[in-house]
Structure 1
């Protein structure tokens, strides 16, 4: 079945087919609610090229993992998603984009504890890199009751559960990478404290000189290295609606996001 056809299991869901990485990926996702976009691409592009195993917590329709695997032919991914319909979309997107042989989707609440994750097939200490884009809503965003239930872990006290799950699943010296709103930075730092070291923070700003709206926060399990604060990535130039050259290269799939070196690395 072509990605331009409607999957039978989502005929009851209003959905769109969207191109990512300049058309390298074709993604089926819900028309409303949680939709992959800039955050998912940045998160997937931030996975180190040396990684061989990836766990994507709260994977949604699978864009972050698909971006990571597009950049790295040696990477295998496990995608964890709580909503069965969305997990089915991720499975469809993986298969139709040609990544079925090196990825799998599991349906599980990643914050339910180690036993629940292991029962779903997520092994502790099992992944080179764990990524997460916990759900949240911007002020004024309309969403269904089900979507808001799925986003319950945006609360400060629950965000720590996401970090605990990531650290538990990462292997020795494994890397944990989150992308979230700038307002979530204090909660993320508190959750990282004592669990990971070599913490890096990359602010993501709409334009040069503007306050960051997003942050990428990463750390290494078992490390005691000090924290690093990197220069911000500006998505747009000072004027106009187009992406800045560095951001455009990321969104077209022409570069990886080597954020720890504060630069974009060619593929």
Structure 2
């Protein structure tokens, strides 16, 4: 489980060390560009209890996968990331948090052809759980970030999003779960891609505060299932000001998983 760290990364990139799950994890990530936050923690905490093998597509520095592993000591993970600098940080984070023996980091384009993905180390039908926090601005929408890494991590059109879902479908084992976290404004193509390939699709809307519109959704599908769609009640992240609702406060402190 090793990747050579690019010399340019060593010379030019500045990283911060950030605590997650109340200090159970301490992760290095770039000080500028895409940075893991609440979405990554929720994604990792949403992995079903008892899963043995996990694939995190577009893992960044590994946050979601490491959160899932912190909650489940028997879980092994494959972390897939195209960006060499982020993948190198994921390797460092695995070692620093004592998780290196339970995971491997591979550098691969998750939207590439199947033969290229397999050559990069992705397995077909190989994982009990596949998770992703894909790039989330529609092509041409929003303002392109000046930082290339951040721009690549935040812009995606519907066709590319569908390739992420297709890769998740081919990577998941029969009966495996596929979980994405995504902005609610782009739910339509996400839901369409899930319903084409999975059953038992479950959508959990997340709103910042009571009475405010949903801004994020967690969506889960089961490979091979024929069960119908379930749309769950919206859950509220904050109760007053910036304080988290008790359910989410416990999740972000590392004291509870997300049950949904």
TM-score of the alignment, normalized to the shorter chain, above 0.5: yes
Q: Distance in 2 between matches of 1:113 and 1:248?
A: 40
Q: Is the 8 A contact 2:33 2:149 kept in 1?
A: no
Question: Once the 2 structures are TM-superposed, how far is the Cα of residue 147 of structure 1 from its aligned partner?
Answer: 3.2
Matched, 1:174 2:176: yes
Question: Once the 2 structures are TM-superposed, how far is the Cα of residue 102 of structure 1 from its aligned partner?
Answer: 0.6
Q: Distance in 1 between matches of 2:103 and 2:45?
A: 17
Q: Distance in 1 between matches of 2:237 and 2:160?
A: 29
Q: Distance in 1 between matches of 2:204 and 2:113?
A: 29
Q: Distance in 2 between matches of 1:41 and 1:107?
A: 22
Distance 1:19 1:198, change over 3 A: same
Matched residue, 1:256: 257
Q: Distance in 1 between matches of 2:16 and 2:142?
A: 24
Matched residue, 2:194: 192
Tell me the alpha carbon deviations over residues 226-253 of structure 1, each in whole angstroms, 9 at most, x when there is no partner. Answer: 111111221100x322111111000000
Q: Is the 8 A contact 2:15 2:30 kept in 1?
A: yes
Matched residue, 2:106: 106
Q: Distance in 2 between matches of 1:15 and 1:120?
A: 27
Q: Distance in 2 between matches of 1:223 and 1:123?
A: 21
Question: Once the 2 structures are TM-superposed, how far is the Cα of residue 146 of structure 1 from its aligned partner?
Answer: 4.3
Matched residue, 1:265: none
After the TM superposition, list the runs of 4 or more consecutive aligned residues in structure 1 that deviate by more than 3 angstroms. Answer: 8-11, 137-143, 149-152
Matched, 1:145 2:148: yes
Matched residue, 2:236: 234
Report 1:1-267 matches (<5 A): 10-137=10-137, 139=142, 142-152=145-155, 154-237=156-239, 239-259=240-260
Q: Is the 8 A contact 1:173 1:220 kept in 2?
A: yes
Q: Give unmatched runs, 5+ long, in structure 1.
A: 1-7, 260-267
Q: Is the 8 A contact 1:10 1:85 kept in 2?
A: no
Q: Is the 8 A contact 1:29 1:35 kept in 2?
A: yes
RMSD: 1.8
Question: Once the 2 structures are TM-superposed, how far is the Cα of residue 190 of structure 1 from its aligned partner?
Answer: 1.1
Question: Once the 2 structures are TM-superposed, how far is the Cα of residue 11 of structure 1 from its aligned partner?
Answer: 4.7
Q: What is the TM-score with the length of structure 1 in the denominator?
A: 0.90
Q: Is the 8 A contact 1:32 1:143 kept in 2?
A: no
Distance 1:11 1:49, change over 3 A: farther
Tell me the alpha carbon deviations over residues 198-236 of structure 1, each in whole angstroms, 9 at most, x when there is no partner. Answer: 000001110112111100011001110011111122110
Q: Is the 8 A contact 2:94 2:100 kept in 1?
A: yes
Identify the range of structure 1 (113-122 vs 19-28) with the bigger mean alpha-carbon deviation: 113-122
Q: Distance in 2 between matches of 1:248 and 1:76?
A: 26
Q: Is the 8 A contact 2:34 2:149 kept in 1?
A: no
Question: Once the 2 structures are TM-superposed, how far is the Cα of residue 149 of structure 1 from its aligned partner?
Answer: 3.6
Q: What is the TM-score with the length of structure 2 in the denominator?
A: 0.92
